[in-house]
Amino acid sequence: MSEKEYFAHETAVIDQPCQIARGVKIWHFSHVMENCQIGEGCNLGQNVVISPNVKLGKNVKVQNNVSIYTGVECEDDVFLGPSMVFTNVINPRSAVNRRGDYQKTLVKRGATIGANSTVVCGHDIGEFAFIGAGAVVTKHVPAYALVVGNPSKQIGWMSEYGHRLEFNEEGIALCPESKERYQLKDNAVSKLKENKS
Ligand SMILES: CC(C)(COP(=O)(O)OP(=O)(O)OC[C@H]1O[C@@H](n2cnc3c(N)ncnc32)[C@H](O)[C@@H]1OP(=O)(O)O)[C@@H](O)C(=O)NCCC(=O)NCCS
């Protein structure tokens, strides 16, 4: 790791060893702990904590006041909204040592987690899933699902560009921005591969 390949504000604290890829930006008062892997182009906002052994893929955007605890992994292009909360112990008690007893949370590629929401540990967030602001996630979230509320419930589907998908009777929806088409089949969404010929 070369210090020249990424930017860290002078108030950031970076413990060693850790791997920080090129193009990463680490802003004011943030703390990266030992054995972390931070992928290319990640942005860690102000007052962000990355706990030991956490892995972030490429281009993960972490907004202000987010702590990513051991047991959490974020794949490429994940967006973590301001002050969202991860957890890693399901039944914490101050007087009982549960260090190392962490439940895992995998946030898959392209997912967005809204501002001030909470992910109860042990639940995965599917690819391109969208968690609304203030939601409390207590179950696995399927790919492309939009969930809101406490406890969070699915109210729809979102495209990779972050638009609501309205499916027609054939189970096909068009993203208004990217013009890509999606299929809803057996209560699961996938993006259609268009024939560009
Ligand atoms: C979830 C979200 C994408 C929905 O946007 P939308 O598709 O435009 O939804 P609408 O505003 O049309 O709302 C649809 C319904 O869902 C409800 N709703 C929307 N967002 C909600 C939320 N976060 N929590 C609970 N209910 C919500 C609305 O009240 C509305 O309910 P109604 O049908 O009973 O009136 C958006 O509200 C949201 O939470 N975005 C995340 C913003 C954020 O955290 N950004 C972080 C970077 S700054």
Q: How confident is the model at residue 197 (pLDDT cuts 50, 70, 90)?
A: low
Phi, psi of 23 (to 5 degrees): 80, 0
Helix, strand or coil for residue 72?
strand
Share of the chain above pLDDT 70, in %: 96
**19 alpha carbon – ligand 1 mean position (Å):** 36
Cβ(134) to ligand 1 under 6 A? yes
Q: Is the CB of 12 under 6 A from ligand 1?
A: no
- The response to whether residue 115 sits with its C-beta less than 6 Å from ligand 1 reads yes
Distance 132 CA to ligand 1 centre (A): 6
Note the pLDDT of residue 4: 64
Q: Would you say residue 184 has pLDDT above 80?
A: yes
pLDDT of residue 100: 83
Atom 20 (ligand 1): residue with closest C-alpha?
132
Indicate if ligand 1 lies below 6 Å from the C-beta of 114.
yes
Check pLDDT > 80 for residue 195: no
Q: What is the mean pLDDT of residues 3-11?
A: 88
Q: What is the pLDDT of residues 9-68, one digit of tens each?
A: 999 999 999 999 999 999 999 999 999 999 999 999 999 999 999 999 999 999 999 999
Between the CA of residue 116 and those of 38, 65, 107, 148, what are the distances in Å?
A: 23, 10, 16, 12
Nearest residue CA, atom 47 of ligand 1?
Answer: 81
The answer, yes or no, to whether any atom of ligand 1 lies below 6 A from the CB of 136, is no
Residue 153 sits at φ, ψ, to 5 deg, of -130, 150
Question: How many A from CA of 119 to the centre of ligand 1?
Answer: 17
The dihedral region occupied by 53, where left means phi > 0, alpha psi between -120 and 50, and beta the remainder, is left
Residue 3 has pLDDT above 70, yes or no: no
**What was the pLDDT predicted at 196?**
65
Count of C-beta atoms within a 10 Å radius of residue 194? 9
pLDDT band at 114 (very low <50, low <70, confident <90, very high): very high
Q: Which domains are delineated in the chain?
A: 3-90+99-166 (2.160.10.10)
Reference 125, options 69, 75, 56; nearest CA is: 75
Ligand 1 pocket residue status of 23, Cβ below 6 Å: no
76-to-40, 55, 64, 66, 102 alpha-carbon distances in Å:
9, 10, 19, 17, 22
Q: Considering the chain, what is the average pLDDT of its residues?
A: 96
Instruction: Report pTM.
Output: 0.96
Q: How many CB atoms lie within 10 A of CB 106?
A: 15
**Spatial contact of 192 and 178, defined as CB atoms under 8 Å apart:** no
Furthest C-alpha separation in the chain: 65
* Model pLDDT for residues 69-106, shown as the tens digit of each residue: 999 999 999 999 999 999 999 999 999 999 888 999 99
Is ligand 1 within 6 A of the CB of residue 126? no
pLDDT for 194: 82
